[in-house]
Amino acid sequence: MRFASGSIRAAQRSLVAGGRRSYHPAVLPSLISTASPEFKAKAESMESLVAELEANLAKVREGGGSKAAERMRSKGKKLPRERLALLLDPHTPFLELSPLAAHEVYREHVPAAGIITGIGRISGRECVVVVNDATVKGGSYYPLTWNPEEPRCPIKRM
């Protein structure tokens, strides 16, 4: 079946409005009343949990703290997240996989179990990335940093 080139362009314009995909919120009907006291109480509870999560993630992004960061900088080294930013393609997303690993497991604060893991784009290809964070206890591994019983990610060409 052949389509006229004009109809294909019209279909493309309807899918992509102004260079962006169009968004259709609330396509399913809902019986939830956002004005009910129960909804408001649950929304407030969720907001406090989200604020706590954001505070924990901000603490993890600091790594081993300002003292450890200054020690690395004084040696002429870049911080782990700076190295990661240089490794990844500019303006591409990075999906961090385990920022709260070892959270509140040990007596001392061990942000992300001492490593930054995630999926990012390097030279146009999506890659699994593991960055050792030397600001956390000098880069030493904890039992939760790496589980030797789990198989490593297989290398595949796709």
Q: Is the pTM of this model over 0.75?
A: no
For the domain made up of 37-153, the CATH class stated in words is alpha beta
The tokens for 31 are 């019986």
Do 72 and 135 meet the contact criterion of CB atoms below 8 Å apart? Answer: yes
Q: Which of 135, 3, 140 is nearest to 62 (CA)?
A: 135
pLDDT of residue 63: 83
The parts of the chain modelled with pLDDT lower than 50 are: 1-19, 149, 158
Do 126 and 97 meet the contact criterion of CB atoms below 8 Å apart? Answer: no
For the chain, the 3-state helix, strand and coil shares in percent, each to the nearest 5, are: 40, 15, 45
CA distances from 31 to 28, 40, 86 (A): 10, 15, 48
What integer best gives the mean pLDDT of the chain? Answer: 76
Tens digits of per-residue pLDDT, 127-152?
Answer: 999 888 887 766 666 665 555 545 55
pLDDT of residue 154: 55
pLDDT of residue 147: 56
Domain ranges of the chain: 37-153
Which H or E run includes 28? Answer: none
